[in-house]
Amino acid sequence: GRSDQVVEGDPLKNKRNVMSCIRTYTGIMFDPLNPDPALINMVDIAHALSLLCRANGHFRNFYSVAQHSINCMEEARARGHSGKVQLACLLHDASEAYLSDVTRPVKQELPKYLEIEEPLQEAIWRKYLGAELTEDEKARVFEIDDAMLYYEFKALMDTRLAEEEPELKSEPEFGFRGFEEVEEGFLRVFGELSRRREMLLEMLKGKIHRATVKQAELDYVGSITIDENLLKAAGILEYE
C-alpha cells in the first residue's frame, strides 16, 4: 500500500537546517544540494511530478512531468527495451520533484543547476535501478525523451521542433488527466517495474551453440543479425 501520510510537527524543530532543505509532501526535510538516498521517497516524486506542468505551463492544456515520464516509459516498452531502461525512462525527470522544472534554454545557461541536478538524478537512478546505467542505456533514455518532446510540442503547441519526425512506436496521450489519477498511475507503473526487477535476475535465458558466423564487419556499429528460426529455437525474442 501507499505510505503517503504527511509527517506532523513543526519543521523548525527538525535537526536539519530548515533554510537548506525543502519540506516534501510526506514531511521529509530534504537537502537537494546534498541528497541523502535514504530520504528520496517515491511518493514524494510521484506527487510532485503530477503537479508540475511541462513547457513552463505554456501548453494548451495542463500536461504534467509525470504524464511525460509515463509516456516515455511506454515508448521504451514499445521499443522492446529492457525493464531497467523502462524504469529509467519513468524516473528520468525525477530530480525535478526536488528542483522544479527549468526550460532548456535557461538550463543551458545555468551550469550550477546542472552541477546540482546530475548527482541528484544519478542518486535517484541508483536507488531504484539497483545499478548504474551504461552510456548506451542513457542514450536510449535521452533519445526517447527528445522524441516525446517533439510530439508534445506538435500536439500541444502546433510546433515542429525538427524537420524530420523522430521514431515513435507507442501512442501517447497528451490530453489533461486528473492529478490524483496521474500520481496513482505513476506509482502503479513504478511498482510493477520494481517488482519485476526484484524478482528476475536472468544470467542466461537462451543460447545458440556452435553457430556459424557468415559475415563480420568490424566497423559496423549495431547489433547482430540472427536467423529468425534460430531465435525461435533458442527462445530469444527480437531486441532482447
Mean pLDDT computed over 170-186: 97
| pLDDT tens column, 183-196 | 999 999 999 999 88
Mean pLDDT of the residues in the chain = 87
Cα gap 233→236, rounded to integer Å: 8
Distance, C-alpha 187 to centroid of its chain: 13
The closest alpha carbon to 99, from 133, 150, 65, 70, belongs to: 65
Q: What is the CA 228 to chain-centroid distance, rounded?
A: 32
- Residues with Cβ < 8 Å from 45, sequence gap 6 or more? 91, 94, 97, 124
What does the pLDDT look like over 5-39, one tens digit per residue?
A: 444 445 444 454 567 899 999 999 999 999 999 99
pLDDT surpasses 50 at 144 = yes
Full-model pTM? 0.75
Whether the Cβ atoms of residue 52 and residue 43 lie closer than 8 Å to each other: no
Contact by Cβ (8 Å): 198, 84: no
CA 30 to chain centre: 21
What confidence tier does 97 reach under pLDDT thresholds 50, 70, 90?
very high
